[in-house]
Amino acid sequence: MKTDSRILALVATVLLLTCATAGAQTGAEDFYRQWVDYRNGEISVDFEQTPVPFALHAIHAKTGFQIVIPSPSEARIVNLRLQRQPLEPAIRALISTIGYKSFALLYDASGRPSRAVVLSVQPAPAKTGDESANNEPSKATLKAEEQEKLQKDLARWRELKQEERTRIENRLKELEPSDEREQLINEYGKQVLGLAK
C-alpha cells in the first residue's frame, strides 16, 4: 500500500511537471500567434507598427529562424502582412521591408534556411564631379584580384579592425548580383556568425 501511494505521488509529480512545461511552451506560442503563425513550412505574419527587434524575436521564437541585423541607430518599425508563404521568400520580404538590401541566407545540413545575416547599410555619400574622375574600380565590377583579396580579408575577419570590416561590408553592398558576390557574402555571413573554421 505504501509503495502504491509513493508510485502514485511520483506519477502525479511527473504529470504536473509535464503539464507545466507544455503550458509554458504553449503560452509562448499563443503569445506570438497574433503576429506569426508557422505551419508545414509556411509562415504568416501580421506586423503593423511593430518594433523590428520584437518582430525578429517573434519569428525566431515561432520558427527557429534567426535574423542578424546591424544595430540600428534609430528605432525602426515594420509593417508587413503575409499569408502562408514559404519561409525563405517571407524572410526576404521582411528584410527588404525593414530597409536592407544585402543579406546572406545560411542553410542547415538538411538544406532548410536557418539564418539570415544582413550587411550593414550606410548612406552612400554624394559624389562630386572631381570624385568621379578618380581611379577607383567601378562599383559594379569585381575583378579576380579584388575577389581574391576580399576572400583573404574575410578569412582573417577576426583579426581585422572595424574600419577594415566596414570597408569590406561597403564593397559587398556595392557589387552587382553575381555568383562571385554570393560566394563572398556567404563567407561574410559565416565569419560574422562565427561559423567559419
Q: What is the pLDDT of residues 63-73, one digit of tens each?
A: 888 988 887 65
| Total domain count, the chain | 2
pLDDT (0 to 100) of residue 163: 85
pLDDT (0 to 100) of residue 127: 45
pLDDT (0 to 100) of residue 44: 92
Residue 83, C-alpha cell as written in the block: 499569408
Residue where a domain terminates, one of 62, 89, 118: 118
pLDDT (0 to 100) of residue 125: 43
Element (H, E) at 188: helix 179-193
For the cut 60, the answer to whether the pLDDT of residue 91 exceeds it is yes
Choose among 26, 49, 195: nearest CA to 108: 195
Residue 134 contacts residue 128 (beta carbons within 8 Å): no
pLDDT (0 to 100) of residue 3: 61
d(CA 97, CA 48): 12
Under 8 Å CB-to-CB from 91, ≥6 apart: which residues?
Answer: 59, 65, 67, 105, 113, 116
Task: Look up the pTM and report it.
Answer: 0.51
Q: Domain check: are 169 and 104 in the same one?
A: no
Average pLDDT estimate for 3-26: 53
pLDDT (0 to 100) of residue 18: 52
Q: How high does pLDDT run on average in the chain?
A: 75
d(CA 140, CA 193): 26
For the cut 50, the answer to whether the pLDDT of residue 52 exceeds it is yes
Q: Domain check: are 107 and 158 in the same one?
A: no
- 10 occurs within a structural domain: no
- 71 occurs within a structural domain: yes
Q: Domain check: are 114 and 147 in the same one?
A: no
Range of the domain at 162: 138-193
Q: What is the pLDDT of residues 155-189, one digit of tens each?
A: 888 888 888 888 888 888 888 878 888 888 888 87
Choose among 151, 147, 156, 144: nearest CA to 187: 151
